[in-house]
Structure 1
């Protein structure tokens, strides 16, 4: 049974000065758990500092981390010192970078996730069939988290890989996942995330956005045309577990100048649906 759409006038939180990322979400969780005697705030801050690196392709300075997280420079210095001693970060240039040891944490998830393990051959086959890049994503906090990907050529100005995060509201996988949320959860998401324009095509009017989600919910497909980045089109469908619950989203991304919206709907969508159904049957 599909989730009911939220009211047309959800309460809106004041727009923060910059995009809300994973580090902001983790800091909010730390604040929410301050009264829990078993909660280790110092460990939480360490994970927040690690999360900042995922949002920067190059080295990160102590000042950047402090500014983005709200953690004092003294505390950031202690966290970085500890992570450096343990071999997870190292100094480079004027800042710090992650070291290969962190791959062990991500690799453990990939090895233990039945969805990720099942998805990769499905994505590889879909990529070889349509000759376009394909991805599997889940909703993690307020972002789409890429958990598996099969790439042909790079079609975005930023590189995408397993572990990449993108805003949910202006991506095809994000809209599929948002459309499956319960009413209250979706409304909370909209309160936290102003619909900021990423390009001149980004849907930013709340009534239009809710209409779009309702259509995605009804038709089981989201098609995003250059709303995240000019020149990029993507189409996504839900991945259902055997219980019927939406557990992820599968997408195909392509260059706008090469493949029309009509071709995406008539040729790519049927293959995408078949791949999503195949993946769903493999999940426990």
Structure 2
């Protein structure tokens, strides 16, 4: 492990580890569960939890803790100053209405994609995704589009640190296979991932460009039984590309395509 710089405050890192322990799948946690998730002792986890509760970021409920609305303050300023989601909103709504599916806008944050805008499907049954949701980039169509836009040194650095997991039986099994898929997304200008993140779910994404720089990815989430893979290139990809082009234009670019490494 690289040595931390002299200014690094370990307790700040650990406080964020504690906050990140709370997820949509684990919204209420005990001290022991937080200690395990944050890789710290039970005594240390308890001190962090009680301090964060005193500051208003957590709420104690018997033996459990949960996030409060104040925890949203951490990301609210970032989202408030991010123009792109607001610009993309009407285009995502139009696309969701046209395709009758959930549409999203994502950015790359380290090894993950993060949803910065999302319009749920007009149908009652739809994929549940919210702003702030993050997934490993390698397992998503958005991630492969965004990774394909990285410079070669940055992409190589990503490969040196990424850890693949078998999320489903369809997940990519090796870095060589992942590299092939990223190269494919880069060359054709769009990506499709079928059931690698979740069974029964297919994602399709295209880049949003400002000039020659990729700034985000537009995605549509499809249920596999509703949208045969062979039809998607003709029926979905052109509509995604049109929406991405309009978002890029509104964001101040010419949406002319991927930046090459």
**TM-score for both structures, normalised by structure 2:** 0.88
Instruction: State the distance in 2 between where 1:181 and 1:93 align.
Output: 47
Instruction: State the distance in 1 between where 2:195 and 2:126 align.
Output: 12
Contact 2:101 / 2:126 at 8 angstroms: preserved in 1? Answer: no
Alignment of 1:29-68 (within 5 A): 32-33=3-4, 35-37=5-7, 39-54=8-23, 56-68=25-37
Deviating more after overlay: 191-200 vs 214-223? 191-200
Instruction: State the distance in 2 between where 1:73 and 1:172 align.
Output: 38
Instruction: State the distance in 2 between where 1:196 and 1:145 align.
Output: 19
1:134 corresponds to: 103
Alignment of 1:126-205 (within 5 A): 126-152=95-121, 153-156=124-127, 159-205=128-174
Confirm whether residue 98 of structure 1 aligns to residue 61 of structure 2.
Answer: no
CA deviations on 1:179-233 (whole Å, 9 max, x unpaired) are 1122232223223223322211112133322221111111110011111111111
- Structure 1 runs of 4+ off > 4 angstroms? 153-156
Task: Specify the SS of the correspondent of 1:45.
Answer: helix
Contact 1:155 / 1:232 at 8 angstroms: preserved in 2? Answer: no
Q: What is the aligned residue count? A: 250
1:21 corresponds to: none
Contact 2:31 / 2:63 at 8 angstroms: preserved in 1? Answer: no
Work out which of the residue numbers 12, 34, 38 in structure 2 matches 1:69.
38
Contact 1:223 / 1:235 at 8 angstroms: preserved in 2? Answer: yes
2:183 corresponds to: 214
Bigger relative contact order (CA 8 A; separation at least 6): 1
Contact 1:111 / 1:117 at 8 angstroms: preserved in 2? Answer: no
Structure 1 position 160, deviation (Å): 1.5
**TM-score for both structures, normalised by structure 1:** 0.81
